[in-house]
Structure 1
């Protein structure tokens, strides 16, 4: 993936072709959530907070390279106590887990419309972003781990 969200994006088709020639064994994502060109192996969309597939490319995999941003602050485990940010904020692990499961149902529906993959943002909290499945210090898993594992397994089996 040479580009993310159009930051510094230029000569996208040329760079995607060069990348594929450099290592033909790998899939090339020309621009994750960036300006979209008909090149590379996938069309990568970003959508927050919930998943949405607003473009489709029948010639390449259509993926959701970023979605989520479910915010949950656990005060004893944050980087900065006075400023924290999430696309949406919840007050409990149960509320945040319920939102994650709601998004998972949306992903399952998208599979029948050509959706190929999704990446939840993000694995851990980072600095002032509290969107992680785990806290900044990696000491607490903020969502119900078993519920997340179960729904993710179900989605992965649906994609086969």
Structure 2
């Protein structure tokens, strides 16, 4: 049954290929790179969807994900996305910041540049309608 105001998709590390829809399309959960920072981890286990071992590797993987799944799908109707997750929680180390909120795992300038590119794509798509 196709009901609701929007189509919600969860996608972890599989290439996302969207087709235009009558409903708003939101990638409501994606990302989740496992990047554990020593001395900023609460749990006993280490969980995440894709393991990276450095901030540089984290940013490379994040950039690829944003280009492949977000930027390429805006022209096909992607209207929004939510990265999972903002901060690490207990055994899940797939956030953008550590469990104790002391370390930002990502390069904020690179993140800002990616966000500006995405805003530009949305501006062009809205302008084309």
Tell me the TM-score normalised to structure 1 length. Answer: 0.71
Following TM superposition, where does structure 1 have runs of at least 4 consecutive aligned residues deviating by more than 6 angstroms? Answer: none
TM-superposition CA deviations, 1:82-124 (whole Å, max 9, x none): 3111101111000001100001111111112121111110110
> 2:15 & 2:93 partners in 1: Cα distance?
18
Residues 150/50 of structure 1: CA separation in 2 closer, same or farther (3 Å cut): farther
Question: What secondary structure does 1:131 align onto?
Answer: coil
Partner of residue 23 from structure 2, selected from 26, 46, 60? 60
Offset at residue 58 of structure 1 (A): 2.1
| Equivalent of 1:45 in 9, 12, 22 | 9
CA distance in 2, matches of 1:155, 1:94: 21
Q: CA deviation at 1:152?
A: 1.5
Aligned-partner Cα distance in 2 for 1:50–1:67: 10
**Larger RCO (CA under 8 A, 6+ residues apart):** 2
**C-alpha RMSD over aligned residues:** 1.5
> Bigger radius of gyration, 1 or 2?
1
Q: Alignment length, in residue pairs?
A: 122
Structure 2: state its 5+ residue gaps: 124-129
Choose which of 28, 31, 46 in structure 2 pairs with 1:84: 46
Q: Kindly indicate whether the alpha-carbon contact (under 8 Å) linking 1:43 and 1:57 is maintained by their aligned counterparts in 2.
A: no
